[in-house]
Structure 1
Amino acid sequence: MWVPAKFRSKVLAEPVRRPQLIEHSSDKNKNKNLETRPQQHPILSAQQHSISQELHGKKPAVFKMPVDYSKWDALELSDDSDVEVHPNVDKRSFIRAKQNQIHQQRFERKNKIETYKYERVVNDGLLKRINALLAALESHSADADKRSPDELMFMAIMETAGDSPNEAPPPPPAGVHTQEKEQPTYSKMMAALVDQVKAKVDEDKPENRFAAYVEDVKSHKAKVEDLQRQLLEELDSLEKEEGRKITSENIHTGFDSSHVTKGKAEDKSTGEAKKSTQKAQTVEVLNPQALGKPLLTKKSDGQQSSGADADADEPMGGDDDDEDEVEASELGKKFASIKAGDYRTCLEFISQHPEVVAEKETDGLLVLAFNSAIDGAYELARQCVHQALLLQYCRALGRDGVRMFFKRITTPGHQAQKVFFDDVNSTFARIKSRAKEIEKQRAQEEAEGTGGVEQIQLHAVDPNTTINIQIPPENSSDPAEIKAKELFNAFPPGLQRALESGSLDEVNKVLGKMSVEEAEEIVAQLSEGGMLSVEEQIIDATTEEGQKALKEFEEQEKAAQQEQAAEQAALSKYSDDPE
């Protein structure tokens, strides 16, 4: 602020007045040191008072938050680009060489650490055996005057050799002692130590040979212990050096967090109820090998399997882990029940249950639409097609495009709305047309009497032959019969009882309850195991039964000839047609 000259001296000479606290006379003794510390204004805040004190020279206003960067001092960078080199030295080559040097030193340091750790483990095992040898020698000290020292040494070696359960040391880690093809066993180490002790005693020729043996073994023990101490010191030094620097290998996940959107509690309870129902339906069977056969699966098209449904007396439970047929799930049916055109509810449902956008849900709704069209429920079929294609479009657009898709199809006159409804109409038209074709085909089959379920039945082609059933024996050494018995044991109990009865009609009843594919596989296994044999039938015409069978055979031959003649006449009728 500019001040005129005539007032300048007066302004500068006048001291700045500071607010003073009024001290009560009764508080003089309590606040003796009040004048020595700065007084805070009763109205100003603590920060304003601190700034005021700084302006008047009382104390500095310091506002600092210390940040400790010392932990990054140990960071080791192998490619530091800020390094300064001599002008005559290529900087890139220098950095590359420095990087290789750091990596090589790090590798050598780790290899030494692993080597020292392994050597300490081996030396610990050797020390145990040296201590055992010393204990065995000292136990024979009373016999030193009676027996030869060499004999006592041999006895001590034999005693300690039987006490060691693991003769071979542990295998070295990767990269440790690679120059040695085979690591010597502890027995070889102890044998070499005893040879050295004997050579030393033979060279010195002491008076008390046994005592010399003991002293030399103790000296070897002291050497191994001193080596262990040196290895420990070197290991501690290398580990400190390794931990002094922060490298990329020290990087690890400090903390991690994830969030999963869960469904409603009612959906969870429904899933648990399904699991409990499936577990409750599992029963124990007498023939567990049959459960592993692919023939024991239940089909969804109404056909019977060769397992539980082919054997009504003994129901068996199959595994639920096999691949199921495509069908609409409970979640998909809930989505299909939403009225077509209520896109707000559809969007909320997809947001709460994102798993409904899966491809299997779309396929399940289309199957439900097809079945509804066959039953004549065309409105329900159209509703399922609409919801299925809605899920298909949402899945194709991805998570981010779902809201944009709903916004566009709800906009009147938008191109996306036209494309979507055209797709719905064409898909529903195809399903409806195919359903009508199936209805027409079924009606035609019923009129002609050719409808029903296709079955596999066993009959002899030649009237002069019969099909006999042979059950493989229980105890047999023939490999073919053993294999046939394994096939027989894998059959359902109902089929086993039918085969044991020896009646072809009973076998046909069981085969009639199976699907065509399963029945064909059963027949193939019966032929493979030799359980079906075709034999020529001998008719005795002298008996009443033989004459009756002969008469039936002649009638069958006559009918076959008439049928063949009718076919030839039908062919000759159209022989002159140029088309």
Structure 2
Amino acid sequence: MPVDYSKWDALELSDDSDIEVHPNVDKRSFIRAKQNQIHQQRHDRKHRITTLKYEKVINDGLLARIDALLKSLQAQGKEVEGKTEAGDVDEVVFDCLVDVSSDGCLGEDSPPNPPEGVHTSEQDQPRYSKMMGALVDQVKAEVDKSKADGPARYQAFLKEIGEHGAKVQGLQKQLLAELNKLEREEGNKITSESIHTGFSSSHVSKGAPPPATAAAAKTAKKPSVQPQLLNASSAAVDLGDETPGSEADIEDAAPGEETGDDDDLEASPLAKRFGSIPFGDYQASLRFISSNPDVLAEHETDGLLVEAFNGQSNAKTTRDEEYARQCVHQALLLQYCRQLGKDGVGLFFKRIQTPNHQARKLFLDDVGSTYERIRTRTAELNRLKEEEGEGGDREQIQLHAVDPNTKINIVTPPALSECTSEDEVTARKIFDTFPPGLQRALASGSLERVNEVLGKMSVDEAELVVEQLGEGGMLSLEEGVIDATTEEGRKTMEAIERSGRMPGDEAAGGGRVVEELADDADEGEGGVEGEGKVVEVEEMD
């Protein structure tokens, strides 16, 4: 297989190149001179490429303004109809020129500074507005030679400006062709500047991340609570659809616990002052932003939207609703100014104050739709809050002993693997059907916690739970808690089974476990305190 040496064709002349020279010419000197020539050509080529790229940017900006001027002149053609004086036609042309020169959409009026070594003979690069003014002056001189008036003079302006634009486009095509040619020549040869690192990799062992601080933990988002079953064997038990009693498995949040950073978001005093500017007073808004540019920060926009939401939630009068709408307007005003870029403030206020401008209509429609969403959402939340307030007076099931000297205790059935009788198995199966929150409350042996869980359930569901507690023998009238999972608890249970009565029944004289159907309503203004009724659940001898 022949060896391919074509990849070496891209190498420039070097000191060890095998070339033949005239016997009267020193080979080393010839190679040195040739290298200097190559280096000079390379330098000139780089300089020319940099110059052409800069001129391309200038020409692009000029072409954009010429096209904008032509479009503006074509749009204003109807205003020239009926005008015969040359001065009237010239006035329309110069008005279009002023509009194009002040249009911020075309970019900065000042061209970018030239790179080092490019156009060093020129003192300052003229502004685009000055270039366009010079172009219109040249066009006017050509039009004056034609001595046309009225619409004919206006058409002459359009024709001459279009020809100038075509000339610039032709120069731009020649520039691009030369630039592409020089860049191809630059890439044909391998030079020291074209050498670069193809791949580099390193590995740094990082230490363990520092533990989260208390402040960070406080402001972190609270993870969703997933209920954990205390007994794995009942994981496959189908508990049916979710019921109101499922709330019994939700732990209350710790006092002072934060749900996230967004809860602390509120409008700053600076944002509130900006939000108090009347709706539509754009001059006052512009003066405020010019004096306080910090108000353009994103968090100020968020704060104003929160202020609008809170204001609409607490609105009692039409004036309060207008304030909420005003805050939405000012918040979106800041957002639009920020999104329009570096010159967004000037561009926004120029367009918003132009009558019948499409941008003005879009902005006001956005304000209206945003406010409508806030108004709808706050109305829905207020309605839900009122329904919750009305539903607060609901009945609850609570466990209490009839005899004040008797205490209700709870028997926790042992695990299925440790059950020694059929009754214990039945009790454990009933226990496993309870929600995890109720299981934890029963395992704690605290009647208060059990009543707290029952209070979160509906009356029907709580009555069913109390009935199941009685069937499973998990309620007793003995001091303390009988835990059948311990040795002492088993002995106590055996004594109960032999005697047929609970310890302490002889001293206490018996008792009854009752459920109290209580009304949560407190005596309020104009209200009557709810009466509770006691319903006997199980009587124990």
TM over 0.5: no
Q: Which has the higher contact order (CA 8 A, sep 6+)?
A: 2
Using the size of structure 1 for normalisation, the TM-score is: 0.34
TM-score (norm. length: structure 2): 0.36
